Structure 1
């Protein structure tokens, strides 16, 4: 997400994120969703209808082996140590030569085009992401449109203690409900971050997650058009403000 505008107004993604976080959280178990999801399903369907690609979770792929991603993993650990900063509750660090080499060596844009069925350009953005502390999480949100139409997250390392019963996972909300993707080393997800609410559930004690995220623009400019993107429902503050205004107006009329 980006910061608010100079006028203090929330962006499209921030308005949706605010609405989502008033009604959902990655900290809730599956039983919570069975009772809560029907109340938000109609709005989620509006987002689904605008997705440029269908989210895809791949647990195993020939390219993303431990050996093929080892260079990025080493680079990520070093970058997070020396240049890491906390953003939205997670650690971030810039990618370097190892990530750029991975993109070129494995023809990443061609692979993403093949997997999504949508032709994409070379990655326009990339970053290392990490979670190290117990309880660390990222609540549901939507990305700004400028991040691109396709997001690829590859798991570089996921350390899970043997005693952990519920490891942290990347999670999504779709019209079909709540989907959990327990990314392990080498597995990945492809999704449209602007129209697919996503986040990460809390880490257990001793758990560690390191990811690399790539964003892609599609070659089809038609998919850049978001003029028909659904407006976010009113937040609770907006509903309360509207009620106050109506009440004040009624009083002035007496």
Structure 2
């Protein structure tokens, strides 16, 4: 029997939580409800869910604080988080994504869109099945073990950053628009803002450390991964001398 994905709903409004839970249950998921951060933490300590629907405005710790905390915890850092909130302004969305959310859903929302986004985030967090190993310069990625290293040193990447790097390495030297990356990495069955790509590229570069220059921004077009990053401008080189 196929396992029903467990979805933790962190929402302090019972009517909204019940509506979401009913729809999840009827569509093959197992919902678990927590009304605040403390209750949610107890659920996480007991058994990790497959994904978290996290309200921003909660009593006690906010959803933003909880997302940051769970991303810093080695045990929960890989669990997909979908921020569910009435705060729909771009700065709020950026703050949510920067805090560690994988997606951002604005209230009011349609249940079909919510279900599609949950399925999409679960798809892209499914471990790679291929035993593919890719090396570009000193950067190596092993899809079978989900490991990345640079110059022999292991690197820690989140699930979305891993999938993004995997795709860029498989198509090295090619320029990819934000729309193309959304389709290939996030899936073409759900609408996600292009800004999401920029946030995850930023996270990817931070995780790559010394190899961050391999991920290039192509102005007006998108991004590419290259084994030979462009040299610094002559003026910059002279300034260092």
User: Which of 1 and 2 has higher RCO (CA within 8 Å, sep 6+)?
Assistant: 1
Instruction: Name the TM-score, length of structure 2 as normaliser.
Output: 0.25
- The structure that is helix-richer by fraction is 2
